[in-house]
Amino acid sequence: MLKKKKILVTGCAGFIGSHLCEKLLKFGYIVFGIDNLINGKKLNLKKLLSNKNFNFFQTDINNEKVLNTCLDKCEYVFHLAAIADVVPSISNPEIYFNSNVKGTFNLIKNCKNSKVKKIIYAASSSCYGIPKKIPTPEDSPIFPKYPYALTKRLAEEIIIHFCKLYKISYVSLRLFNVYGPRARTSGAYGAVMGVFLAQKLAKKPFTVVGNGEQTRDFTYIDDITDAFIEMLKQTIKNEIFNVGSGRTYSINYLIELLGGGSVVNLPKRPGEPDSTFADISKIKKKTSWKPKISFKKGVKKLLEEISDFNDAPIWDKKSIKKATKEWFDYIK
């Protein structure tokens, strides 16, 4: 076990960030967390706020005063702060640029004269667009299809460029279809898992895009946080890794695991891949990480926490059509 290291986690009150903070504290690290609570929830921090090794700052990563207070103490940074909804990024790209790109630049420029030795970034597999190769390796062509994916990729480029310039180590983890308890449920139309769980609770039909045979590399949150912590323990630096489950599953199979039910089919959306499937051979070869939670087990664990989705919006064919209008207008 490493000596108690001080770690900054941006986006600490979000879905992935809150789970990561819990695990870091469990392993004895001292955690400084920043979150503006626009996407994150203070409720996600309820297990953390009483922990003497957790220091929470409710602010934006563009707040340089608070940011530098944390960076002056921390040697490692997990950068997860971002606006993550895909569909609204088409109509409101500016807020995505300000948060995901400008916010990342502000973080990295302030790392220049700090104690920070390593930045571990939560990148997105959406940078691959519609992959030409399945499973998709890290050297696949980059072709983001919508503004969210573009801003996450630009942030990755900023981290790579300035970390090399400032001689700070980095690791970028391209995450595939993360799911689990505390996944964000409020706000815009988003990830299929949250949409389906809210529909199940309300005894409403599942809204399936296309015929449901499209597949996704659903990766359970515990495997994701294990990958982040692996990068903290390892001496590996200046690398990009895919993080996925090692399998890919159809939307129809997800419905089966959720107990089945009636289905309403929606038009297939342009710009969405028929399959997401991470080639994780690189991370398995270079580290001791590997996914442990099967999709069947992960969905079972999620159903045990289904009450998390009691306040989630219930989407139907009409509301989804309205929410995705600009998707069909602009994405080809």
Instruction: Identify whether residues 52 and 102 lie together within a single domain.
Output: yes
Per-residue pLDDT at 190 exceeds 80:
no
288, part of any domain: no
Kindly report the CATH number assigned to the domain that includes residue 65. 3.40.50.720
| 287: in domain | no
Average pLDDT, the chain: 94
- pLDDT single digits (tens) 95-148: 999 999 999 999 999 999 899 999 999 999 999 999 999 999 999 999 999 999
285-323 tens-digit pLDDT = 999 999 999 999 999 999 999 988 888 899 999 999 999
The DSSP code for 268 is P
Three-class DSSP category at 113: coil
Could you identify the residue written with the tokens 């080639």?
Answer: 279
Between the CA of residue 212 and those of 121, 182, 299, 300, what are the distances in Å? 32, 25, 17, 20
Helix (H) or strand (E) holding 213: none
Percent of the chain with pLDDT over 90: 89
Beta strand 263-266 pairing with 206-209: parallel
What is the domain range of residue 272?
182-216+248-276+294-330
Instruction: Check whether 2 has a pLDDT greater than 60.
Output: no
Is there a domain that residue 259 lies in?
Answer: yes
Contacts of 310 (CB under 8 A, 6+ apart): 201
* Same domain? 113 vs 204: no
| 3-class SS of residue 312 | coil
β-pairing verdict for 215-216 and 249-250: antiparallel
Give DSSP secondary structure letters for 55-107: EEEES-TT-HHHHHHHHTT-SEEEE------SGGGTT-HHHHIIIIIIHHHHH
Does 1 map to a domain? Answer: no
**C-beta separation of 277 from 249 below 8 A:** no
Phi, psi of 178 (to 5 degrees): -75, 140
| Contact present, 108 and 163 (Cβ < 8 Å) | yes
Q: Are 8 and 34 within 8 A, CB to CB?
A: yes
| 232 plus 255 within the same structural domain | no
| One domain for residues 300 and 258 | yes
Of all residues in the chain, what percent carry a pLDDT higher than 70? 97
Q: Which of 34, 42, 38 shows the shortest CA–CA distance to 12?
A: 34
Domain assignment of residue 285, yes or no: no
Q: How many CB atoms lie within 10 A of CB 36?
A: 19
Structural domain total, the chain: 2
Would you say residue 282 lies in a domain?
no
Same domain for 123 and 159: yes
Do 112 and 195 fall within a single domain?
A: no
Q: Same domain, yes or no, for 112 and 190?
A: no
Query: 235 with 205, same domain?
Result: no
Name the band, by pLDDT with cuts 50, 70 and 90, for residue 189: low
**195 and 228 together in one domain:** no
**Residues 134 and 108 occupy one common structural domain:** yes
Q: Taking a C-beta distance cutoff of 8 angstroms, is the pair 228, 78 a contact? A: yes
| Digit-coded pLDDT (tens) for 195-230 | 999 999 999 999 999 999 999 999 999 999 999 999
Domain shared by 40 and 134, yes or no: yes
The CATH number of residue 320's host domain is 3.90.25.10
Residue whose tokens read 């690189």? 282
Q: Could you give the C-alpha distances from 46 to 22, 36, 50, 81, 303, in angstroms and in order?
A: 10, 16, 8, 19, 21
* Known active-site residue 166: no
Residue 135 pLDDT: 98
Q: Residue 281 falls within a domain, yes or no?
A: no
Based on the fold, state whether residues 121 and 142 are members of the same structural domain: yes
The verdict on residue 67 lying in a domain is: yes
**Which one of 29, 121, 148, 189 is the catalytic residue?**
148
* Residue 247, pLDDT above cutoff 70: yes
Q: How confident is the model at residue 3 (pLDDT cuts 50, 70, 90)?
A: low
